């Protein structure tokens, strides 16, 4: 079987948010993947794909594995409570869905669409396909990562 080359992990930061975009590990590459998680201080993972590795081994090493369902809620909770946190997001092909999720988090914390795209593509060329770019262009942030006061007025964003 041919050996697959995986791109190096890419760390992306904005304000107090830190994300690590990685390849999807397999059981054969899991030990190296866990080493990378520890190197970057990752404590939370979000899978955008089916797990093709034993998630129990990753969790045993201290990194909780979640699926995409509560992405923005997770980001809000983790970056409000824990000022020093790194969330890794991975997908089978690395490109596309994982960078899309990180960009959505940036949009929800008041980064403009154009700035988010430019910021992300500076870190990782070819991160998006045309459908994903169109989705991001039409996406209207709901300000999930911003607080409201008791009167319902928007206050400060939780991502500082």
Tokens of 11: 């760390």
pLDDT, tens only, 61-83: 888 777 755 777 888 887 777 76
| Residue 65, in any domain of the structure | yes
CA distances from 40 to 9, 20, 61, 143 (A): 10, 8, 13, 28
d(CA 101, CA 105): 6
Contact of 113 with 139, CB cutoff 8 Å: yes
- CA-based nearest residue to 17, from 67, 58, 77, 92: 77
Tokens of 143: 């300000």
| Residue 33, in any domain of the structure | yes
Domain count for the chain, please give it. Answer: 1
Contact of 12 with 109, CB cutoff 8 Å: no
| Residue 3, in any domain of the structure | no
pLDDT band at 113 (very low <50, low <70, confident <90, very high): confident
| Residue 153, in any domain of the structure | yes
**Domain limits at 70?**
10-157
| Residue 2, in any domain of the structure | no
Query: For the residues of 33-69, what is the DSSP string, one character each?
Result: HHHHHHHHT--EEEESS---S-HHHHHHTT-EEEEGG
Q: What is the pLDDT of residue 2?
A: 43
- CA-based nearest residue to 48, from 87, 3, 8: 87
Q: What is the pLDDT of residue 151?
A: 58
| Residue 59, in any domain of the structure | yes
Question: What is the CATH classification number for the domain harbouring 68?
Answer: 3.90.190.10
Is the per-residue pLDDT at 111 higher than 50?
Answer: yes
| Residue 78, in any domain of the structure | yes
The more confidently predicted of residues 17 and 66 is 17
Is the per-residue pLDDT at 50 higher than 60?
Answer: yes
Is the per-residue pLDDT at 93 higher than 70?
Answer: no
Q: What is the pLDDT of residue 22?
A: 84
| Residue 82, in any domain of the structure | yes
């Amino acid at each position: 079987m041919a050996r697959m080359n995986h791109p190096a992990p890419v760390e992306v930061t904005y304000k107090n948010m830190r994300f690590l975009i990685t390849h999807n590990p397999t059981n054969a590459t899991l030990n190296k993947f866990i080493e990378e998680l520890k190197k970057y201080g990752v404590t939370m993972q979000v899978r955008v794909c089916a797990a093709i590795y034993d998630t129990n081994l990753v969790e045993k090493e201290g990194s909780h594995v979640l699926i995409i369902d509560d992405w923005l809620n997770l980001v809000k909770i983790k970056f409000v409570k824990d000022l020093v946190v790194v969330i890794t997001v991975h997908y089978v092909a690395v490109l596309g869905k994982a960078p899309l999720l990180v960009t959505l988090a940036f949009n929800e914390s008041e980064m403009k669409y154009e700035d988010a795209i430019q910021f992300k593509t500076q870190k990782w060329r070819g991160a998006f396909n045309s459908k994903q770019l169109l989705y991001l262009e039409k996406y209207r942030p709901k300000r999930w990562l911003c607080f409201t006061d008791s009167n319902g007025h928007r206050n400060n964003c939780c991502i500082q």
